[in-house]
Chains A and B, each alone.
Chain A
Amino acid sequence: MEKVEKILETRELNVNMGPQHPATHGVLRLVLEIDGETIVNVTPYVGYLHRGIEKLGESLTYFQGLPLTDRLDYVSAMSNNIGYVVAVERLFGIDPPERAKFIRTIVGELSRISNHLLWLATHALDIGAMTVFLYCFREREWILDLFEMICGARLTVTYPRVGGVRNDVSQEFLDSLYKFTEEFPTRIPEYETLIDKNRIWLKRTVGIGVISAEEAINWGLTGPTLRGSGVQYDIRKHTPYDAYDKVEFEVPIGTNCDTYDRYRCRMHELRQSNRILKQCLEKLPPGPVMADTPKFTLPPKDFILKDMEHLIHQFILITKGPTVPEGEIYVATEVPKGELGFYFVSDGTGKPYRMRIRAPSFVHASVLSRLCVGHLVADVIANIGTIDIVLGECDR
């Protein structure tokens, strides 16, 4: 027996995965140390998509920085824009009108649904359920059409603005949105019948990537990834922004802390988002969509060519930027992936002295080294899927 072991020595093997692997959701590179089929250690390498957005933000005015945020999490650009404008509004000390707040809540939730659909589609595809992908993209396409209807763009939208939104929504959009909210709850069971009790799906997700509540908080997880572990942390409830304090919704919480519960959490969130959309449609108040604060928000385009004063404000705001009080502020919003925080240090000029982006994907990618250990190589894919990362946001 001893002799055999000497000849067939076992040793750990290093396997490189990515950065061009389709299942890593972008350009994530993992170096796996494996012992047979079991993962001993995982080292994630990020930074392949680093564009220096934080450095760029320091050289642009607060208005010019907005389009950069589309390029963070490019699958839910609307939520990122909202995160940015909410933070800048808090820094300026302005309050958008009610109608703008409700419209932002609507587009934010639409963005959440589209993000979760894309997540479900790719997560299922990675694990091996091809059909779900096609069903999810059918509804995602519908949401992108809705986005196109309000602002003309489908992915990099830049629709919310500091002090409100770019333009009011049309009746045509509201009608289509109403149709969507009526139709969408009947579509969710379609995805669920495909995988909810599917034996392969259960085998691949139940008990995979278990992380306890305390540990999940300690690792800095946020969003559905954290709530799957049973922690009641949702920024929409903790520190409400936009119109989230005026709508009723519940927060789904998982109990088993595994990949399957995180999947169920997101499915429940789809329903809750739809519920918020319905209430927003009912409660949508009339009125302006842009705050009337000429010192901080860009004037309406129609007035600029007719009115001297507006032209002056436009000129000053575009060339110099607004005069901002000195100070520092951190504002977090609940984007589909978790907690997106913007930290601004203002030195009184029109450009941020320091713009820091706390991206949920960055923190979630770091937890991979904890989640994968002890599982099989195939479960790495399930673990990458369940934390819902986008590398554009991770690398910034």
Chain B
Amino acid sequence: MIVEVNMKFPYMKMDPLAIAERIKEKFPLEVVDVVSFRDQVSVIIKKEKIVEICRFLHDDPVLDFDHLRDLCGVDYLGKKEPRFEVIYHLYSVRHRHMIRLNAQVSESDPKIDSVTSLWAGVNWHERECFDMFGIKFKGHPDLRRILLPEDWEGYPLRKDYPLKGPEKEWSGFAEVLEKAKKYREFDWEG
């Protein structure tokens, strides 16, 4: 059965800066910085307690971030230190507020804890982040490449990866080229 609703009921939307304040209160040592831009707030955090922070945001009844909109990586090569950031976009379907967490990940130790235990849908996002940036997610149930072939070399969305791809062909494509050369003698020439 389908019901039609106009969704004009009251909801308890929290100001994103107030949410950032709450995170700061709870984890004073973890929050590095709070940046506000165009009404959106990024909370820059250290990576060590990412699961605890996410669990707090997920379970707290006032915050109630039940929907993980997106997880992705950013490579700040030569711009920021540490080099990588893993971005979590959290949203509360009930309260309609949003917050962004930027977890800092260094180049020397590109690892971060997985949050698959909190949001099931993050599984593929983490796999994609691993695929594109080479950031490993500890505790992920199935950390494999997702968009690229298993034997692909390099991590394409890193800034030092060439736009036109590596010089060497991918082994699968090289195989196809080899086969094409082999069967050229059977080409029909009219």
Is A35 part of the contact surface with B, judged by Cβ < 8 Å?
A: no
Residues of A within 8 A of B1 (CB): 254-256, 261
Map CB proximity to A onto B144-157 as digits: 1 under 8 Å, 0 otherwise.
00111100000011
**Whole-angstrom distance between the alpha carbons of A59 and B162 in the complex?**
11
How many whole Å from A56's CB to the nearest CB in chain B?
A: 8
- Apart from A47-B149, A52-B156, A250-B6, what 4 extra A-B contacts exist at CB < 8 Å? A219-B119, A220-B119, A272-B4, A367-B121
The residue in A90, A220, A251, A356 that gathers the most chain B C-beta atoms within 10 A of its C-beta is A220
Task: Report A-chain residues with C-beta under 8 Å of the C-beta of B121.
Answer: 218-221, 363, 366-367
Distance between Cα atoms of A328 and B96 in the complex (Å): 20
Is the CB–CB distance between B37 and A329 below 8 Å?
yes
Q: What residues on B are CB-neighbors of A295 within 8 Å?
A: none
Which one, A55, A218, A234, A347, contacts B79 given CB within 8 A? A347
Q: Across chains A and B, which 5 residue pairs bring their CB atoms closest together, nearest first?
A: A220-B121, A327-B37, A250-B4, A47-B147, A358-B70
| B103 close to A (CB within 8 Å) | no
Name which of B45-53, B61-69, B104-112, B173-181 contacts chain A.
B61-69
Q: How far is the CB of B87 from chain A (nearest CB, A)?
A: 7
Please give me the residue from chain A that is nearest to B75 by CB atom. Answer: A354
Q: Is the CB of A54 within 8 A of B37?
A: no
Does A234 contact B7, Cβ atoms closer than 8 Å?
yes
Smallest Cβ-Cβ distance to B122: which chain A residue:
A220
- The minimal Cβ–Cβ distance linking A92 to chain B, given in whole angstroms, is 10
The answer to the question of B100 belonging to the interface, with a C-beta cut-off of 8 Å to chain A, is: yes
Q: Can you sample 14 A-B contacts with CB below 8 Å?
A: A50-B147, A59-B163, A218-B119, A220-B69, A231-B93, A233-B67, A238-B7, A251-B4, A254-B2, A255-B1, A255-B3, A264-B2, A330-B89, A362-B128
Residues of A within 8 A of B100 (CB): 328, 330
Chain A residues in the interface with B (C-beta under 8 A): 46-47, 50, 52, 54-56, 59, 90-91, 93, 214-215, 217-221, 231-234, 237-239, 248-256, 261, 264-265, 268, 272, 325, 327-330, 332, 339, 341, 343, 345, 347, 353-354, 356, 358, 362-363, 365-367, 370, 395-396
Please classify the interface of chain A as helix (H, G, I), strand (E, B), loop, or mixed, using the class held by over half of its residues.
mixed
Q: Are B66 and A268 in contact (CB under 8 A)?
A: no
A252 to B4, Cβ gap below 8 A? Answer: yes
B120 adjacent to A370 (CB under 8 Å): yes
Please state if B5 and A253 are interface contacts (CB–CB under 8 Å): yes
Count of chain B residues with Cβ under 8 Å from any Cβ of A?
44
Question: Is the Cβ of B38 less than 8 Å from the Cβ of A93?
Answer: yes
A90 — which chain B residues lie within 8 A by C-beta? 38
**Inter-subunit contact B74/A219 (CB<8 Å):** no
CA distance A279 to B146 in the complex (A): 43
Closest Cβ of chain B: how far from A270's Cβ, in Å?
12
Report how far A369 CA is from B185 CA in the complex, Å.
Answer: 45
CB distance from B83 to the nearest CB of A (A): 13
Question: Closest approach, in angstroms, between the C-beta of A269 and any C-beta of chain B?
Answer: 10
- B87 proximity list for chain A (CB < 8 A): 328, 343, 356
**Given A93-B38, A330-B89, A54 and B157 contact (CB-CB distance below 8 Å):** yes
With both beta carbons as reference points, the residue of chain A lying nearest to B100 in the complex is identified as A330
- B79 x A220 contact (CB < 8 A): no
Q: Which of A221, A252, A327, A356 has the most CB of B within 10 A?
A: A356
Question: B6 touching A218 by the CB < 8 A rule?
Answer: no
B147 touches A356 (CB 8 A): no
- B70 contact from A218, A234, A341, Cβ within 8 A: A341
Contact among B5, B42, B69, B75 for A328, CB-based, below 8 A: B42
Asked if B114 is an interface residue, CB under 8 A from chain A, the answer is: no
Residues of A within 8 A of B66 (CB): 214, 217-218
